[in-house]
Amino acid sequence: MKNRNFLKLFVLAAFIMPVFLANAQSKLDKQVLMTIGDQDITVKEFSDVYYKNNLKSDVIEKKSVDEYLDLFTTFRMKVMEAERMKLDTSAKFKRELAGYRKQLAKPFMSSDDITDELVQEAYQRKQKDLRASHILIRCDKNALPSDTVKAYNKAMDIRKKALAKGADFAALADQYSDDPSAKGMKATADSPARPGNHGDLGYFTVFDMVYPFETGAYNTKEGEISMPVRSDFGYHIIKVQSMTEAMGMIQAAHIFLQLPFDASEEDEAAMKQKAENIYKELMAQDGKNWSEKVKQYTDDKGTIARDGALSPFTVSRIVPEFIEACKSLEVGQIAQPVRTNYGFHIIKLINKSGVGTFEQEKQGLAERIEKDMRSKKSEEMVLKQVKKDYKFKQNDKHLEAFITTVDSSILRKAYEPSDKADMKATLFSLEGNPTTVSDLVDYIKKNMTKQSFSSPSAYAYELYESFRDATLLEYADAHLEDKYPEFKALVQEYKDGIMLFDLMDKEVWNKAVKDTLGLEEFHQRNANKYMWEDRAYATIITVTKPESLPKVKALLDSGIELDSLKVTVQRDSIPAVFVRQGHYQKGDNNFVDQTEWKAGVRNEIPSTVDQSTTIVCIREVRQPEPKTLKEARGLVTSDYQVELEQKWVQSLKERYPVKINEKVLDKVRQKYQ
């Protein structure tokens, strides 16, 4: 009997304990954790933010409750100060918040079922990189049926030609395609000639093309030609040249030798030989001298500081010849020189991300789908749900009566409502709130455009559907905060964030920039933090034609003032001589690094890959010294901003005194131990 009673109590406890804990937790959430100024902060307010930013997030360094409490307290004081200054009342603030709210609302205004299907489809397509060519037959999306049939038949005729034995798809694109990029561009006063791509669109993957084209391409096998695919631009005949494993995000570096579009065959051959010589020098040391050769030879000056590394890119962002080379490489390998329309590239593959697991990719894919035309499928499901949630009722009798009053003036963008139109008649209602003919008429006047291929009644009904859908979505959007508490919290986060940005700009960032006297005083107090290393002041002379070298050396031997060398070279018309000078630290310039740092030293460095010679003249060697404010302004300004913020936060603590309930804080610590 005792055993049975014990078992009964144990089973009851199993059900009661979670309820008890939930009630205890709910009670703790309502308790006041701290008071900042005159505002009470509950445990729930703190816990929600702490959980999101430390336990739920992927941050590397998790904060303890006490550490995060300090950050949270400073944050809340700044928000209170921004509200005191009424920063949330300006027109600029309201516009910015409205823009962010619009973006935040998108996930709450989509159908999960349809989105899941589209995400799965996008993930499968993301596995492959496609290279394809196309022939475009233009056809307006609102074209008359007769014109649509004409364009389709033309596309089918061209497809038959493309399928014929020995047919050249590129030649057919040159002859028939309405895509101007196929034929290229002639030279103008503003731009040089651009060669055509012969219909070759290069590499792409999911989201890089309009959805109908993407679907047509991915549904076509490698080497085959599609049936005509309809998009808003017209009909596309697509030939898939290759379908390869996706590289994902690519990181690559290059040594770039620029060649003009109109370069002669002789110039191109010389540049090709130079590129091959550089490649041989790289291979002689297994690429270990890559950084040195980048500094020495590349024409892409913007990448020198990064050892030639380009910003990460996907396959659609760069010419296909470059991508072909990347696809042939393993990470760390260097490709033989590649010719593109821009010149020669020696490419080193640094990394490729590939495609992550579905769990890793799905969030990003869902966000892309929201911005893509395929989101229309999701919108249709959302509209269906909105109608159900908000008790949508349409009055078909009133709608039909109004449509019959619309005349042909609507096609000329000159519509005015007929006297027969009942402006007060209800077209539909949401939760009993009526939308009338008058509302629709206002919408028509603002949104109608001239029409060539429609009837008055058809166009009026098309505008009604747009008006109805827009009204439904607007109504649902206005009730998001009531329906989704998490959305309300998100909007509040962004509101606080915008206010804090404006406040920090006013009190710290912009203040540091404008306070020139304060900045100078801060620099003087901390001058030893901003130091130059040893520097050489040098003149660097590059001579690219051998016949000019003796003339330049003769000028230097004559004791010419180096500051006037550039002017003298130009005056004496000595060709292919380039002069630059400046202060250099170790690592800033490969030629200066190869020269002894001693005033008066002159070093002649012949190129090992072409006929150029570089002469370095060391004019002065400077010991470590403080940078001037002008030279170190960026770093000084950043550090001054830190000091200003620290002083400002201290003043906020005096304005908004903080009182912490230690007993409640102990319970919060235990909760997250």
**Confidence at residue 369, expressed as pLDDT on a 0 to 100 scale:** 87
**Confidence at residue 59, expressed as pLDDT on a 0 to 100 scale:** 60
Cβ contacts of 186 within 8 Å, gap of 6 or more: 193
Helices (H) and strands (E) in the chain, counts: 25, 19
**Confidence at residue 671, expressed as pLDDT on a 0 to 100 scale:** 87
**Confidence at residue 24, expressed as pLDDT on a 0 to 100 scale:** 56
**Confidence at residue 8, expressed as pLDDT on a 0 to 100 scale:** 40
**Confidence at residue 371, expressed as pLDDT on a 0 to 100 scale:** 82
Query: To which H or E segment does residue 376 belong?
Result: helix 375-389
* CB-CB contact of 624 with 534 (8 Å): yes
Would you call 256 exposed, middle or buried from its count of C-beta atoms within 10 A (0-12, 13-18, 19+)?
buried
- Domains observed in the chain: 128-245 (3.10.50.40), 250-352 (3.10.50.40), 391-478 (no CATH), 531-626 (3.10.50)
**479-516 residue pLDDT tens:** 999 998 889 989 999 999 999 999 999 999 998 989 99
CA triple 40-43-45, angle to 5 deg: 75
**Residue 476 CB-half CA count within 13 A:** 25
Helices marked H in 484-543: 485-504, 510-514, 516-525
Average pLDDT value for residue range 44-53: 87
Average pLDDT value for residue range 623-651: 95
What gap in Å lies between CA 171 and CA 133, rounded to an integer?
11
**Confidence at residue 1, expressed as pLDDT on a 0 to 100 scale:** 45
Average pLDDT value for residue range 553-569: 94
**Confidence at residue 213, expressed as pLDDT on a 0 to 100 scale:** 96
**32-42 residue pLDDT tens:** 999 999 999 99
**130-186 residue pLDDT tens:** 999 999 999 987 676 788 899 999 999 999 999 999 999 999 999 999 999 998 777
- Find tokens 């609302």 and name the residue: 105
**587-600 residue pLDDT tens:** 999 999 999 999 99
Percent of the chain, pLDDT > 90? Answer: 78
pLDDT at 66 over 70: yes
Using pLDDT thresholds of 50, 70 and 90, give the confidence band for residue 469: very high
Query: What distances in angstroms separate CA 207 from CA 372, 420, 478, one per listed residue?
Result: 8, 48, 30
**391-414 residue pLDDT tens:** 999 999 999 999 999 999 999 999
